[in-house]
Structure 1
Amino acid sequence: MELDLAKEQLPSTQTKVNDNTPDYINQQIERETEASVNYYKRQGESAIRGRIDELEHEWDTERVLEVNMASIALGSSILALAANKKWAFLSGAVSIFMIQHALQGWCPPLTVIRRMGVRTLNEINREKKALENLLNKPV
């Protein structure tokens, strides 16, 4: 029973970022993805394959968030040891943000990351699948 309650309260890892991003940002990202696919509809197979390769290496929101948070935590820990112990509070705040993101699907830095146009893995994979469909389309 407790497990069922926890499942209901925790957001799906597949949709948590989109669910906690303002609609206008999600829509802007969607429009940019559609524009990219429409552009590649008019390109040759090698250009489409090149774009798919780019998508394979595109950083998603989770990776950007994890690297940024870990970098801030590491930097502030070093500063706390070397300069002033008050820097440890920044490491603590970053840890709280990561826990908040894991449990709720949102944290303050995520808003900035999404406004920068960083996409979720699902959003990247949707573009990749659409481009793969273009390659498999009979002429």
Structure 2
Amino acid sequence: MFGPATVFRRRLSMTATASRVRERTAPEINRRIDDELRERIRFFANMPQYIDARLKTLDEEWDVERVLEANAATFSLLGLVLGSRVDRRFYGFSALVAAFLLQHAVHGWCPPLPVLRRLGFRTAAEIERERYALKALRGDFVMSGSMKRDLATILRAVGLE
């Protein structure tokens, strides 16, 4: 049956969760993030003794969605506290934050997102690309002598060349 719920579900699924933030980020910001990633991989190709430390750092890195959610929760709570203790108009702040979160959930974009991306916050997929490239440099995926560990092959494998 084709009804409003079906239309809504289709609209929600139009943007793949894994790529929606990147698709809605300005190309120059994506390019800068990719260039920085490419340079880091080149650095670690020449300094493999630091790969383990970088992988630990990546385990603790917050992706842009997590930062957005944490900030939204913080500002929403702030609006509730200020609304109950200072002025009821602050409740509107919590409503605005909720609207931004809903917009992000449906469309993959909300007003704070470009700011966070310009500040260098990456998507989970971008963080994983670096993790896989570093693991490949370290030799985690080498199963036979026929598999190369060279930089160009690794950059191609993670979509940077």
Match of 1:58 among 32, 38, 61: 61
1:105 partnered with 2:108: yes
Q: CA deviation at 1:70?
A: 0.6
Match of 1:39 among 36, 40, 43: 43
CA distance in 2 between counterparts of 1:127 and 1:42 reads 15
Q: Which has the larger share of helix?
A: 1
The CA deviation string for residues 31-69 of structure 1, in whole angstroms up to 9 with x for no partner, is: 001111110001133x10110111111000011000011
CA distance in 1 between counterparts of 2:102 and 2:11 reads 18
CA distance in 2 between counterparts of 1:109 and 1:28 reads 19
Larger radius of gyration: 2
Give the TM-score taking structure 1 as reference length.
Answer: 0.93
Match of 1:22 among 21, 26, 41: 26
Amino acid at match of 1:130: A
Greater length-normalized contact order (CA 8 Å, ≥ 6 residues apart):
1
Q: SS where residue 118 of structure 1 aligns?
A: coil
Match of 1:132 among 126, 131, 135: 135
Please give the root-mean-square deviation of Cα atoms over the aligned residues, in Å: 1.7
Q: CA deviation at 1:11?
A: 1.0
CA distance in 2 between counterparts of 1:119 and 1:62 reads 9
Q: CA deviation at 1:6?
A: 2.8
CA distance in 2 between counterparts of 1:106 and 1:48 reads 33
Count of paired positions: 138
CA distance in 1 between counterparts of 2:109 and 2:80 reads 24
**Contact between 2:48 and 2:137, CA under 8 Å: does it hold in 1?**
no
CA distance in 2 between counterparts of 1:95 and 1:5 reads 19
What 5-or-longer segments of structure 2 have no aligned partner? 143-147, 150-161
Give the TM-score taking structure 2 as reference length.
Answer: 0.80
Amino acid at match of 1:133: A
